[in-house]
Amino acid sequence: MLNDSIQKISLALACILSIVMFLSCHRQNNNPIRNNSQPLWQLVWQDEFNGVHLDGGRWNYEIGGGGWGNNELEYYTDREDNVYVQDGQLVIEARREHYENREYTSARITTNSKGDWLYGKIEVRAKLPVGKGLWPAIWLLPTDWAYGSWAASGEIDIMELVGNNPFQVFGSIHFGGEFPHNVYKNGNFVLRDGSDFSDDFHVFSLIWEPADLRWYVDGKLYEEQSEWYSNNGDFPAPFDKRFHLLLNVAVGGNWPGSPDASTEFPQRMYVDYVRVYSYKGERPSISITSPTEGQVFSRGSTIPITVKTSAGSGEVVQVKYYTQTEKIGQAMVSPFGILWPNVSEGEYRLLAGAEDDSAHYALSPPVTIEVK
């Protein structure tokens, strides 16, 4: 009887341990739990396109041909044939016509030096052109180019559509070195209800946090990026400087190819509004408590990294750890420490990023250590 009791107790303990290990692994292989409360966003810039003409206090025209680095075929103009406001909407119209030694015209407008932001939420409600060779885009470029020419200073594409696939849009980041040493990451969203992006308006959104970027279509999250680098700056470079917005419809180019006989012109991108928000809630706070600034370790060491966190407007749910070039770990259970194993020789600039349950981020002050 005693042996039977011991066996039963052992079996029960084994079951409990298995459940705990399963839940722990399950939690670590999934995103942290996030609440559904409304974040504290404040509108800081907008254009509802309620005027008669494009607002020159908000927008600039970019004019010219030459391919724009992508072998595009159009000539961008500031003519009202190509860009105008009508019925409360911005219209960018791509046309097949001979103009300035090009066979197509279109428009490309920017908020450079009139709307420049570091972090926040950007929403654009738009209906898109489609057809072989069409390439509408809603995107961001650096205002100050602090880390060098493209793409060392970064590019964020909120929405791109390749016209012969009208059901799918892409969100991307470009980073790394200056061309041709650049790299990119992207994700995509596909309409699965039989409609395409020319049939109706959709809201294309980007939430840009310190060390995190998230893309949405009609409020549905479809992509998240939190790992990138710049050859000319420490993480979270290059996405820690001001960027500005661009709207354009390209014709032709390396990605969509050239229009063909099936492509109908004119093609139009309609934009109902552009809205930019800043987060006004209290972010979590985080600092690295170990190792300490200037601490020296032996090559091959396993280095424990610990942090101190405090909640802001939400509870901290995970911490990610970075060097100046890469992510090295993450923790989803308080007190959110990690072990960094078998570290190679070098000088490392450590950062920790805390995420709260509303998916808002804060970065720690850096701590520099040496391994030799």
**Residues 40/313, Cβ–Cβ less than 8 Å:** yes
The alpha carbon of residue 242 and the mean position of all alpha carbons in its chain are separated, in whole angstroms, by 14
Cα gap 338→236, rounded to integer Å? 20
- Within 10 angstroms of residue 268's Cβ, the number of other Cβ atoms is 20
**Residues 51/85, Cβ–Cβ less than 8 Å:** yes
Q: How far is CA 242 from CA 81, 109, 124, 147, 298, in A?
A: 32, 17, 19, 12, 39
- Which residue among the candidates 74, 93, 155, 355 is catalytic per the annotation? 155
Nearest to 206 by CA among 137, 269, 136, 268: 137
Q: Which residues of 101-137 are buried (b: 16+ CB within 10 A; e: fewer)?
A: ebbbbbbbbbbbeebbbebbbbbbbbbbbbbbbbbbb
Q: Does the active-site annotation cover 155?
A: yes
- Which residue among the candidates 74, 93, 160, 209 is catalytic per the annotation? 160
Nearest to 276 by CA among 131, 163, 114, 166: 114
Q: Does the active-site annotation cover 293?
A: no
**Residues 188/167, Cβ–Cβ less than 8 Å:** no
Torsions phi, psi for 17 (to 5 deg): -65, -40
- Tokens representing 128 are 């898109």
Active site residues: 155, 160
